């Protein structure tokens, strides 16, 4: 039963995230998914912030539940070949969930306004969230590669990581400078991670 709970949390998390982003865009007609960052949906003073904040928090709690259950599985196989990679990968996934959860309490500043401590913390936490999500994919990919029945998933993990790295770099360069398609690059990045998580 415990296994089913954390597995269901892992399936529900990306679905919840997708629905929250779609809902946020629907509730804010002037918002552009192609141009704007997802964080702008819950930035300081954003409309519907009180509705979206708990939903983004729910996503991160579901991710944490999944990552914690996955850690127990990895720890049980720690003595297997590459088992340390499984433990490290799941610990990074737990950290990603924690950093993501904390960003809800540190909304980004409205673009073009002076930096605040809260907005700066959002940037730091978002950066740590990105770093830990990629680290999780890297170490879990290495772990899967050593398991004959999960070799194909290991390859899928590395392909997803490459997409996250490349599109994430493009998003990081585009969004702060308000360049066209910054929001699209961010959605490709997060979509690749969420798709990997769901699979």
In this predicted structure, the answer to whether residue 2 has a pLDDT above a threshold of 60 is no
- What share of residues in the chain are helix, strand, coil (percent, to 5)? 75, 0, 25
Q: List, for residues 43-82, the tens digit of each pLDDT value.
A: 998 989 999 999 999 999 999 999 999 999 888 876 777 7
d(CA 109, CA 58): 22
pLDDT at residue 122, rounded to an integer: 94
Entry pTM: 0.91
What percent of the chain stands above pLDDT 90? 72
pLDDT digits (tens, 9 = 90+) for 167-196: 999 998 888 777 788 889 999 999 999 999
DSSP code string of 12-74? HHHHHHHHHHHHHHHH-TT--TTTS-GGGGGSTT-TTHHHHHHHHHHHHHHHHHHHHHHHHHH
């Amino acid at each position: 039963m415990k296994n089913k709970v954390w597995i269901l949390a892992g399936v529900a998390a990306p679905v919840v995230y997708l629905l929250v982003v779609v809902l946020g865009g629907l509730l804010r007609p002037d918002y552009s998914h192609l141009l704007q960052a997802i964080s702008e949906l819950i930035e300081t003073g954003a409309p519907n912030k009180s509705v979206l904040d708990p939903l983004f928090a729910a996503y991160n709690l579901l991710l944490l539940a999944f990552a914690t259950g996955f850690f127990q599985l990895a720890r049980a196989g720690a003595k297997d070949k590459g088992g340390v990679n499984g433990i490290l990968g799941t610990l990074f996934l737990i950290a990603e969930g924690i950093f993501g959860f904390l960003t809800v309490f540190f909304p980004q500043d409205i673009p073009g306004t002076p930096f605040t401590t809260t907005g700066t913390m959002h940037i730091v936490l978002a950066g740590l969230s990105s770093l830990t999500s990629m680290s999780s994919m890297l170490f879990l990919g290495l772990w899967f590669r050593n398991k004959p029945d999960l070799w194909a998933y290991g390859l899928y993990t590395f392909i997803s990581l490459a997409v996250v790295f490349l599109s994430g770099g493009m998003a990081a360069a585009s969004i702060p400078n308000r360049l066209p398609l910054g929001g699209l690059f961010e959605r490709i990045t997060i979509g690749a991670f969420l798709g990997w998580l769901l699979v």
